[in-house]
Amino acid sequence: MNKEVLGGLYKGLAYRIQVNRPDKLNAINKAMWASIKGELENACASPAPVVLITGTDQVFSSGDDIDAMYRLGSPDESKEFFNKILEVIKAIIECPKPVVCEVKGLAAGGGAEMLLACDIVVASDDVWISFPEVALGLLPPLLITIGVKALGHRKVRYLALTGSRLSAHEAANLGLIDEVVPRLEIDNVVDDLIKTLASFPKESLTLIKKLSLSDLDYELAQTSIDELAKLVVKPEAKERMRLFKEGKYKPAAIRSRKSI
């Protein structure tokens, strides 16, 4: 069992999957992506009517583990790593049950991309979100493909090109978050939401998900993953990741816009 990804029944109404690596801001490595995928399979096959994805009290996820990406030595090796992310996104989308994300603290990079796949995202009012990959010489593969359906072409390009840091309310205005609630109330709000979803007929919930997501382009998402796999082993990306690892560069705090 990977203790950095926990899964199990939550209050008899949901199967909860928790990213649990707080000492690394819940950064996700290859083994953890695989564990999340496995827990999603368990969750979607379980009797629980709802799936809940959470981080810890201080952070949802800072995204892909930069130490792990820095060690990737070839495009094939990096493609294998990033394909794990696409597998998780597909598992969330194709799950016949509603998938709820509860977000506290921050969600960045691959952690923020998970929110694009979740059916409902509830965030505390102190959350911030960013897609800072461009600052490392990389790209956010799922934001610029699958994310277009949720956010639209212009907003996706803006977020991907600038790496801008969003507050919870800014992210809600864009459509990335569905509900913003005070930190002290978020657990109760999520519990009430789960109870509501669990009270509805399962077939209706499944059909709503299936039909509303029927036009997603996984081929384009795979192309984006392949391009990311090439970028991550290039010298410029390696140098920027090295600087980040040494504490000389903080791509997740590029800029914040209040006009969004």
Domain-embedded: residue 195: no
Task: Fill in the amino acid letter for 150.
Answer: A
Q: How many domains does the chain have?
A: 1
Task: Classify residue 177 by its DSSP letter.
Answer: -
pLDDT for res 65: 96
pLDDT for res 247: 85
Residue 26's region, left for phi above 0, alpha for psi from -120 to 50, else beta, is: left
pLDDT for res 258: 53
Rounded-to-integer distance, Cα 214 and Cα 257, Å? 33
Over the stretch 183-206, which tens digit does the pLDDT of each residue have? Answer: 999 999 999 999 999 999 999 999
CB-CB contact of 88 with 5 (8 Å): no
Domain-embedded: residue 192: no
Domain-embedded: residue 12: yes
Q: Which domain holds residue 11?
A: 1-184+201-260
Domain-embedded: residue 116: yes
What are the average pLDDT values for consecutive 10-residue runs of the chain, which has 260 residues? 90 96 96 97 97 97 96 94 96 98 97 97 96 95 95 96 94 96 98 98 97 93 97 96 86 53
Domain-embedded: residue 196: no
Task: Classify residue 65 by its DSSP letter.
Answer: -
Helix (H) or strand (E) holding 162: helix 153-162
Domain-embedded: residue 194: no
Helix (H) or strand (E) holding 237: helix 235-245
CB-CB contact of 174 with 260 (8 Å): yes
pLDDT for res 256: 52
Task: Classify residue 68 by its DSSP letter.
Answer: H
Task: Specify the CATH number for the domain of residue 153.
Answer: 3.90.226.10
